[in-house]
A = this chain, B = another copy of it.
């Protein structure tokens, strides 16, 4: 067992309180007493017991972060952003993986709440409003910020991106670049996926292009799924000459499928993704994408959460939308 305050106290023949105060540089401790205490503490290798402190102060300096998939580099970036903002303040981030599963998400939230995390940042796998996980958070009045995915119709702090605008931006770009038959590999039935699909449709509309249902195929999150989805699209006639993909991994998978059958990107089919994951410009064909500042999303979420933690009065719910930005690379360049 490591040294406790008590040890320092008896060692120095002062009271426990003196030590406690000295260590936190409480104002009413004499300079020399403080110096003594601090030195002895160092000698004994004393570190405050955060658990004991938390029990009385009612704060743990722990922030829970629930994500559907850490391997997806979007979330890895969000985590990094959150950590970057929080670490200087001595907060720590507890990560929990929900594996895109609602039940496991609720379980994780429950555990994080039991641990008395000061707040929670949640990228929910929950499609509908107020799933179990949200219920638990509300019940315990644990401050939380939603990230990326916002369950429909839920009033809460939120940081994300304008998904519909992503769809519009990407699709319009393909159109302006000259594509006439634009397909979409869509994401799952969560707001992120739905929003991007909506944007895709409205861009087509704006440009008076007809919407062909068979040009929309479901691809989920991963490159493997994108690959499969693209193979379906490749069976269609006439072949699409442009594809807007739900996200970058999906787009990477799609490109793989296209190149594999001997077609060219962008010559035969232009491709655009979304997310601007860090390796996008290292892909077979550097990938055009919509940047959504993943790491900034994390930082902003942390910022919002900090505001919740530092003000008693729960202000109005705030939503921050990071502005998406078109990034043109080779996969959609030139004719």
| A residues apposed to B, CB below 8 Å | 2, 45, 47-52, 54-55, 60, 62, 70-71, 73, 76-77, 79-80, 83-84, 87, 90, 92-97, 108, 110-116, 139-141, 223, 249, 252-253, 255-256, 278-279, 281-286
Contacts and interface: CB of A to CB of B under 8 A. Distances in A.
Given A47-B113, A52-B55, A95-B93, A77 B71 contact: yes
B96 A87 contact: yes
Contacts of A139: 2, 45
B84 A76 contact: no
Q: How many copies does the complex hold?
A: 2
22 contacts: A45-B139, A48-B114, A50-B114, A51-B51, A51-B54, A51-B55, A51-B60, A51-B116, A70-B79, A71-B80, A83-B96, A83-B97, A92-B111, A93-B95, A93-B96, A94-B94, A94-B95, A223-B279, A279-B283, A282-B284, A283-B283, A284-B285
A54 B141 CA distance: 22
B110 A83 contact: no
Contact of A97 (B73, B84, B113, B279): B84
Contacts of A47: 110, 113-114, 140
A262 to B, nearest CB: 15
A253 to B, nearest CB: 7
Given A2-B140, A55-B55, A92-B96, A50 B115 contact: yes
Contacts of A282: 223, 252-253, 255-256, 283-284
A224 to B, nearest CB: 10
A79 B95 contact: yes
Contacts of A70: 76, 79-80, 83
Nearest to A330: B284
A158 B76 CA distance: 25
A216 to B, nearest CB: 23
Nearest to A135: B45
A103 B77 CA distance: 23
Determine which residue in A2, A60, A281, A286 has the highest number of CB atoms from chain B within 10 A of its CB, and name it: A2
A130 to B, nearest CB: 15
Contacts of A80: 70-71, 97
Contacts of A113: 47
Contact of A93 (B52, B94, B285): B94
Given A2-B139, A256-B282, 10 more contacts: A70-B79, A71-B76, A73-B76, A93-B94, A93-B95, A223-B282, A252-B282, A279-B283, A282-B284, A284-B285
**What 8 A-B pairs come out closest when comparing CB atoms?**
A252-B282, A76-B76, A47-B114, A50-B115, A70-B80, A45-B139, A50-B114, A284-B284
A272 to B, nearest CB: 15
Contacts of A249: 279
Contacts of A76: 70-71, 73, 76
A77 B69 CA distance: 10
Contacts of A256: 281-282
